[in-house]
Amino acid sequence: MENAYYKRWILVSFNLRKYCCFCKRPIVKDPDLLEKLTTDEELSGLLNLALISAKRLLAKRRFVKFPTTEQTRDRYQRLSDPVKAWLDDRCVFGPQYETDKQEAHSDFIGYCWDKRLNRMEINALGRELSKHNVYDKRTGTGSDRVHLWSGLALRSNLREGGQETLL
pLDDT digits (tens, 9 = 90+) for 110-127: 999 998 888 999 999 999
In one-letter notation, the amino acid at residue 103 is E
Q: Is residue 38 part of a domain?
A: yes
| Contact assessment for residue 9 and residue 72, using Cβ atoms and an 8 Å cutoff | yes
- pTM (two decimals): 0.64
Could you read off the pLDDT of 25-69 as tens digits, one per residue? 888 888 898 999 899 999 999 999 999 989 988 998 877 677 888
Q: Is residue 167 part of a domain?
A: no
Distance of alpha carbon 62 from alpha carbon 64, whole angstroms: 6
- What is the extent of the structural domain holding 85? 81-157
Q: Does 39 share its domain with 86? A: no
Q: Does 8 share its domain with 47? A: yes
In one-letter notation, the amino acid at residue 3 is N
At 1 the pLDDT is 55
What is the total count of domains within the chain?
Answer: 2
Q: Does 26 share its domain with 85? A: no
